[in-house]
Amino acid sequence: MNHLQQSTPLVQKSTDYISREVTEAISIYKCLYPGCELRFIFRIDEATISATATVSEGRAPLHVDLLGAGYLGQVNIPGPHDASPAVTISISIPRPPLPSERRQTDTPWQPQRPLRFIFRMAPMLYEQIRYLAEMARWRRADKSHRTSSLPFGGSALFSKPRAPATGKRPAILVGMHWLEVGGAEKLGLDTIRWAREAGLRVFVVASVPELQRLKGQLPDSPDVTFLRLDRYLPHHLWPRYVEELVRAENIRLIHIHHCRPLYDALPHIRTATPWVKVIDSTHIVEYADGGYPRISGVWSNFIDMHHVISGQLEDYYRDKFLVVGKVRLGRMLDRREDAGALSGFRLQAGQKSLHISFIGRLYYQKRPIIVVETFRRLSRWAADNNVELSGSLVGEGPFLPAVQRLIQRYGLQDKVALLPADTDVPALLERSDLMLLPSNNEGLALVCYEAIGRGCIPLSTDVGSQYEVVPADLLVPLSPYDTVRETLGIVDRLWRDPAFLARQKQELTAAFSKLGRDMTAKEILMPIYEETALSAG
């Protein structure tokens, strides 16, 4: 708090909060500019929960814009000697988030304004238009984005830099997209735990300046440090910062989980600190531009190993980037939890009641509008066949209000229950006959694997690597109208045709066993972490 003792007292904001943020920012720039005099100009921005930072190398004059209402003051950190070059850093500290912001920052989803009337009249038509627009974007994607690996040359003519002796235990730098809810983030948090178990010190960074709501799930240990580069370091300075951090903290391994600025830093990292190994994990090929697997493939020559979670991604790296040998498949499964979890399927042909579930965040990717439409059609089918239908929709997100309105509009309130995201999913799956997953895109949805293990039959769109866990006869096309129609057809056939049902159960069991035999992410990554932990200090 020394730097803040002379600051103006701050109304409504705790001094602890400001102090913590100032300390975070100063430590980042001390690492980045070890030989410089640092001149910080701190502001607080009451309007936003996002920080900004600008850096000028030199003693930049203060502009009047920086000295407005939010101006907090300056902190000068002297350099190691009188002639040290100066760096001016202007930092805008965000205000602390409100309780409502901590819970959810996504505003409720609204249809595109010009098409709102279409959604009001025919929600499925709106979905179809959106689907067609996305597919058109996908067809154009390859032309506007690089889809070949960047070359990485080099010769033995010049000597390469060597790792300095720090005397510190080896460390890993884990780069995340953000610390918010998501599949990639779950794996990221797991890998942080595994790295620590392996004996590594762990430094974590995120690229997107969100509230990082999962920060609390990081292991509470002096060996785990979350660096707020997302808030206080502009992306163009990441390469130099990472180099300094590698040298200062004996970082031997970098693991990238969907972290764009770390990919961009690879040319600098691989040449300035060639002793550092780089691995990455990828999850899902995005329609628009290939997403992180494409970025990873483009940087493939700078990366030592690609960890992927599905067979589709193995194929993607091979077919798009010609890479085979350094791609390692490691499923996001926990062998201890999942071993022997398969119980019998509940659904029997001709049964008089049917419980169907949907589990997923209520974002467009999961297509909740199509889920409700499917329930509407199933409700009619159930009435025609004298079946008592009930449904559960688990999840929260920006589509929740729209889903609620549609359920009311279709009169499904008595049949379909909306459940919060913290619902006991295994228990729900254990009392569900079928599970719907009409997603727009998936890597390999583990909820399908979990459903099979709990005796619930999953029906999914034929996207991503879903073919690995769901039999071909239970996969439906992506086009919204076809998704609903085919789902209805499959439910009808499963209910009516005992031979078909028996065959699907057999194939689901086979798929479940096959996935269970594959290597898990932990089995792929742990040996690398352990080997790194044994490297020199």
Q: Under a CB-based contact definition with an 8 Å cutoff, are residues 252 and 277 in contact?
A: yes
Single out the segment in contact with other proteins by CB under 8 A; choices: 89-97, 317-325, 413-421, 502-510: 317-325
Q: Under a CB-based contact definition with an 8 Å cutoff, are residues 431 and 422 in contact?
A: no
CA 534 to centroid of chain Cα atoms: 30
Q: Does 319 bind other proteins (CB under 8 A)?
A: yes
Contact string 259-298 vs other proteins (x = CB under 8 A): ----------------------------------------
Q: Under a CB-based contact definition with an 8 Å cutoff, are residues 460 and 470 in contact?
A: yes
Q: Does 82 bind other proteins (CB under 8 A)?
A: no
Of 35, 153, 222, 344, the residue at the interface with other proteins (CB under 8 A) is: 153
Nearer to other proteins, 8 or 144 (CB): 144
Nearer to other proteins, 252 or 306 (CB): 306
Nearer to other proteins, 300 or 466 (CB): 300
Q: To the nearest whole angstrom, how small is the minimum distance from the Cβ of residue 256 to other proteins?
A: 19
Nearer to other proteins, 67 or 150 (CB): 150
Burial class (CB in 10 A: 0-12, 13-18, 19+), 144: exposed
Contact string 110-149 vs other proteins (x = CB under 8 A): --------------------------------------xx
Nearer to other proteins, 325 or 420 (CB): 325
Q: What is the 3-state secondary structure (H, E, C) of 133-147?
A: HHHHHHHHHHHHCCC
**C-alpha pair distances (Å), 422 with each of 102, 133, 361, 394:** 16, 33, 11, 8
Q: Does 344 bind other proteins (CB under 8 A)?
A: no
Nearer to other proteins, 136 or 322 (CB): 322
Q: To the nearest whole angstrom, how small is the minimum distance from the Cβ of residue 286 to other proteins?
A: 22
CA 129 to centroid of chain Cα atoms: 27
Amino acid at 143: K
Q: Which helix (H) or strand (E) holds 318?
A: helix 311-321
Q: Does 12 bind other proteins (CB under 8 A)?
A: no
Q: To the nearest whole angstrom, how small is the minimum distance from the Cβ of residue 148 to other proteins?
A: 5
**Structure tokens, 386:** 């004298």
Of 30, 260, 318, 431, the residue at the interface with other proteins (CB under 8 A) is: 318
Instruction: Centre a 10 Å sphere on the Cβ of residue 458 and count the other Cβ atoms it contains.
Output: 26
Q: What φ, ψ does residue 125 adopt, rounded to 5°?
A: -65, -40
Name the 3-class secondary structure at 256: strand
Q: To the nearest whole angstrom, how small is the minimum distance from the Cβ of residue 285 to other proteins?
A: 17
Nearer to other proteins, 44 or 524 (CB): 524
Counting Cα atoms < 13 Å in the Cβ hemisphere of 291 gives: 18
Nearer to other proteins, 68 or 325 (CB): 325
Closest CA to 530 of 256, 222, 197: 197
Contact residues for other proteins, defined by CB under 8 A = 148-149, 151-157, 301, 318-319, 322-326
